[in-house]
């Protein structure tokens, strides 16, 4: 395979999802010649009055800062993002509530809820403006060869690319991870998350809440105005039953099962469900390859931190690669890659342990659930417990 000079890069990012695109945009000022390879098409613009999509993410303040640094945040219309300033959680009997208020930490907000498609579009707009970034869409890798000097990538389009470093940002089923023979540790929670977009009688505005039940949490993520995104975790059978209800019956089920706090529902706007899995790569780096985002780690979404972790991978790797370039070094140098892995892995491990702890406390056997319910109530009164949970919510895992 011979790559032409124009197909010779410093860094190839495979996967132009929210994490991969952000990494490429963060390399914008580095002088590193970068390629993004994405199997899908370039994200398209969303009309400001379009219905809200089902895929919504909570972004913590570190993520918002990174997106601002790369110039993408201002491209997300204010009318389509919703700040949350309070977080509340209860047990299944609506007891033991814990309340967090951004004011307690002198923060203007904890973060924002934003549609994934808007975020992707904003970051891709930035990519298009960057002279050092080349975009390859509707194609993906079919072969990867690495040696101590470089990596060679063969694409389904027939093109051949070479680089000092190939980054796998191609999500949970990463082809780059497979091609690089990096194994994963997997766990299937036997749960699905049903996401339901609704209009509510109450304005939901700035509070995000969650109720922990034995079948899994129920959560309300606020969207602008009287809209909200509900997340209803359950066994695959329970979720499928709910998903098949017509709008009127689903609305009734929500009003019956969700906490009274939600108030009435005016309409169900859309629904869709997703399997819940954990998947952790045994290594984040190998010869001339690094993994970021869901390619490296997929975690239970109950704390809303998967994307936030992925964006921090992108920020950390971009910092290490930019520093290597400034020293005149090689972006695929194993010391550079090891530093990236050393900085990220403990953070991700800690977040996995925290979300796993939550999941077990509330869906485990009865005595464990009781302990979870008591702990939730106590945590509100114990400064240490509360601060720990607040740090998790902010994406600042204990270390």
Ligand X SMILES: Cc1cc2nc3c(=O)[nH]c(=O)nc-3n(C[C@H](O)[C@H](O)[C@H](O)COP(=O)(O)OP(=O)(O)OC[C@H]3O[C@@H](n4cnc5c(N)ncnc54)[C@H](O)[C@@H]3O)c2cc1C
Near ligand X by CB under 6 A, which window of 82-90, 258-266, 307-315, 324-332?
307-315
Is the distance from CB of 362 to CB of 369 less than 8 angstroms?
yes
- In contact, 86 and 206? CB cutoff 8 Å: yes
Question: What part of residues 16-45 is at the interface with ligand X (CB under 6 A)?
Answer: 16-20, 37-40
Q: Considering the complex, what minimum distance in angstroms separates the CB of residue 40 from ligand X? A: 4
- Give, as ranges, the residues between 370 and 389 that touch ligand X (CB under 6 A): none
Q: In which order are the strands placed within the sheet that holds 265-281?
A: 98-101, 86-90, 207-213, 216-222, 227-234, 184-200, 265-281, 297-298
When the beta carbons of 221 and 361 are compared against ligand X, the nearer one is: 221
What dihedral do alpha carbons 307, 311, 316, 317 form, nearest 10°?
Answer: 100
One residue of 170, 320, 330, 380 binding ligand X per CB under 6 A = 170
Q: Identify which of residues 193 and 389 has a Cβ nearer to ligand X in the complex.
A: 193
- Nearest distance from residue 148's CB to ligand X, in Å? 25
Considering the complex, state which of residue 299 and residue 336 has its C-beta at the smaller distance from ligand X: 299
- In the set 293, 331, 332, 372, which binds ligand X (CB under 6 A)? 293
Sole binder of ligand X in the list 307, 317, 321, 351 (CB under 6 A): 307
If binding is defined by CB under 6 A, does position 301 make contact with ligand X?
Answer: yes
Residue whose CB is less far from ligand X, 140 or 164: 140
Running DSSP on this structure, what letter comes out for residue 225?
Answer: T
CB of 154 to ligand X, least distance (A): 12
Residue 274 near ligand X by CB under 6 A = yes
Is 111 an interacting residue with respect to ligand X (CB under 6 A)?
no
Distances 178 to 147, 164, 165, 181, 309 between C-alpha atoms, Å: 17, 19, 16, 5, 21
Q: Who's near 399: CB < 8 A, 6+ residues apart?
A: 346, 347, 350
* Least Cβ distance, residue 32 to ligand X (angstroms): 19
DSSP letter, residue 52: P
Touching ligand X, residues 49-68 (CB under 6 A): 57-58
- State the DSSP H helix or E strand holding residue 60, giving kind and residue range, or none if neither: strand 56-60
The token duo for 316 is 């950390």
Comparison of 84 and 362: residue with beta carbon closer to ligand X: 84
Task: Select from 184, 305, 316, 373 the one that contacts ligand X (CB under 6 A).
Answer: 305
Dihedral pair phi/psi, residue 2, rounded to 5°: -120, 120
Handedness of CA 358, 359, 362, 367 (dihedral sign): negative
| Nearest residue (CB) to ligand X, 265 versus 393 | 393
- C-alpha pair distances (Å), 249 with each of 153, 200, 243: 51, 16, 10
**Among the listed residues 164, 171, 217, 332, the single contact to ligand X using CB under 6 A:** 171
- Return the structure tokens found at 190: 């036997």
Member of 7, 13, 15, 102 binding ligand X (CB under 6 A): 15
Would you give the distance in Å from CA 33 to the centre of its chain? 26
Give whichever of 18 and 220 is closer to ligand X, judged by the CB atom: 18
Question: Comparing C-alpha atoms, which of 32, 71, 31, 17 is closest to residue 311?
Answer: 17
Q: Binding mask 115-154 vs ligand X (x if CB under 6 A, - otherwise)?
A: -------------------------xx-------------
Tokens of 58: 């909570």
How far is 114 from 60, CA to CA, in rounded Å?
A: 11
By CB under 6 A, which span of 24-32, 167-175, 212-220, 257-265 interacts with ligand X? 167-175
Q: Which is nearer to ligand X, 13 or 98 (CB)?
A: 13
By CB under 6 A, how many residues form the interface with ligand X? Answer: 30
Q: Are strands 207-213 and 86-90 parallel, antiparallel or unpaired?
A: parallel
Least distance (Å) between residue 333 CB and ligand X: 24
What radius of gyration do the chain's Cα atoms show?
22
Instruction: Indicate if the alpha-carbon torsion angle 147, 182, 274, 258 is positive or negative.
Output: negative
Positions that interact with ligand X (CB under 6 A):
14-20, 37-40, 57-58, 140-141, 169-171, 175, 193, 274, 293-294, 301, 304-308, 310
């Amino acid at each position: 395979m011979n790559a032409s000079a124009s197909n010779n890069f410093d860094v190839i990012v495979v996967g132009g999802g929210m994490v991969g695109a952000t990494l490429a945009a963060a390399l914008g000022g580095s002088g590193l010649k970068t390629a993004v390879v994405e199997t899908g098409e370039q994200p398209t613009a969303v009309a400001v009055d379009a219905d809200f999509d089902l895929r919504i993410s909570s972004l913590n303040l570190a993520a918002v800062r990174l997106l601002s640094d790369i110039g993408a945040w201002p491209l997300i219309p204010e009318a389509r993002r919703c700040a949350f300033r309070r977080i509340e959680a209860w047990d299944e009997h609506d007891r033991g509530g814990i309340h967090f208020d951004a004011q307690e930490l002198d923060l203007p907000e904890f973060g924002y809820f934003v549609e994934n498609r808007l975020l992707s579009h904003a970051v891709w707009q930035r990519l298009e403006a960057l002279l050092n970034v080349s975009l390859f869409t509707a194609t993906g890798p079919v072969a990867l060869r690495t040696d101590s000097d470089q990596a060679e990538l063969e694409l389904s389009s027939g093109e051949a690319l070479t680089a000092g470093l190939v980054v796998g940002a191609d999500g949970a089923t990463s082809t780059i991870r497979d091609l690089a023979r990096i194994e994963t540790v997997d766990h299937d929670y036997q749960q699905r998350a049903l996401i339901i977009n609704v209009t509510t009688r109450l304005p939901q505005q700035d509070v995000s809440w969650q109720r922990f039940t034995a079948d899994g949490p129920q959560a309300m993520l606020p969207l602008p105005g009287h809209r909200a995104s509900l997340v209803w975790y359950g066994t695959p059978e329970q979720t499928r039953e709910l998903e098949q209800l017509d709008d009127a019956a689903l609305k009734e089920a929500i009003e019956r099962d969700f906490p009274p706090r939600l108030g009435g529902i005016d309409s169900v706007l859309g629904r869709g469900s997703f399997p819940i899995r954990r998947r952790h790569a045994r290594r984040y780096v190998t010869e001339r390859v690094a993994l970021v985002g869901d390619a490296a780690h997929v975690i239970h979404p109950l704390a809303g931190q998967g994307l936030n972790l992925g964006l921090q991978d992108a920020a950390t790797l971009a910092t290490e690669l930019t520093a290597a370039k400034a020293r005149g070094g090689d972006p695929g140098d194993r010391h550079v890659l090891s530093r990236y892995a050393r900085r990220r892995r403990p953070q991700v491990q800690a977040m996995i342990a925290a979300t796993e702890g939550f999941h077990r406390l509330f869906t485990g056997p009865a005595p464990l659930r009781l302990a979870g319910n008591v702990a939730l109530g106590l945590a509100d009164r114990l400064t240490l417990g509360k601060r720990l949970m607040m740090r998790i919510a902010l994406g600042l895992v204990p270390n």
